[in-house]
Amino acid sequence: MTAMSSGAKFDPVLLIAPTREGSAAARARGSEGGHPLSISAKKLAELHRIAKDSMDVQEAGELVGVSRSVACPPVEV
């Protein structure tokens, strides 16, 4: 085993620790992480109201003015 391959098999906990520490620090600052929603709170509330009335998610999205790909994750009907 060469020096490079032995380094690749180094303890994963030690390799992941800086990432976890950085994520914890970001959460402490109030960052939620991830991509922000591309829909306003007002449109999201309207989308939930329409979809709750057992309408198809795609139709509800069209009424609100957002695509199906934007409408599906927040509604999860």
Q: In residues, how long is the chain?
A: 77
Query: Tens digits of per-residue pLDDT, 51-68?
Result: 887 678 888 888 888 888
47 and 28: one domain? no
- Boundaries of domain holding 69: 41-75
Query: Tens digits of per-residue pLDDT, 15-31?
Result: 788 888 998 998 899 88
Residue 39's Cβ-count burial label (10 Å; 0-12, 13-18, 19+) is: buried
At residue 75, the pLDDT reads 55
2 and 30: one domain? yes
At residue 28, the pLDDT reads 92
20 and 49: one domain? no
Question: Mean pLDDT throughout 36-51?
Answer: 85
Domain count, the chain: 2
User: C-alpha 62: how far from its chain's center?
Assistant: 22
46 and 66: one domain? yes
* Block residue for tokens 């790909």: 69
27 and 46: one domain? no
45 and 60: one domain? yes
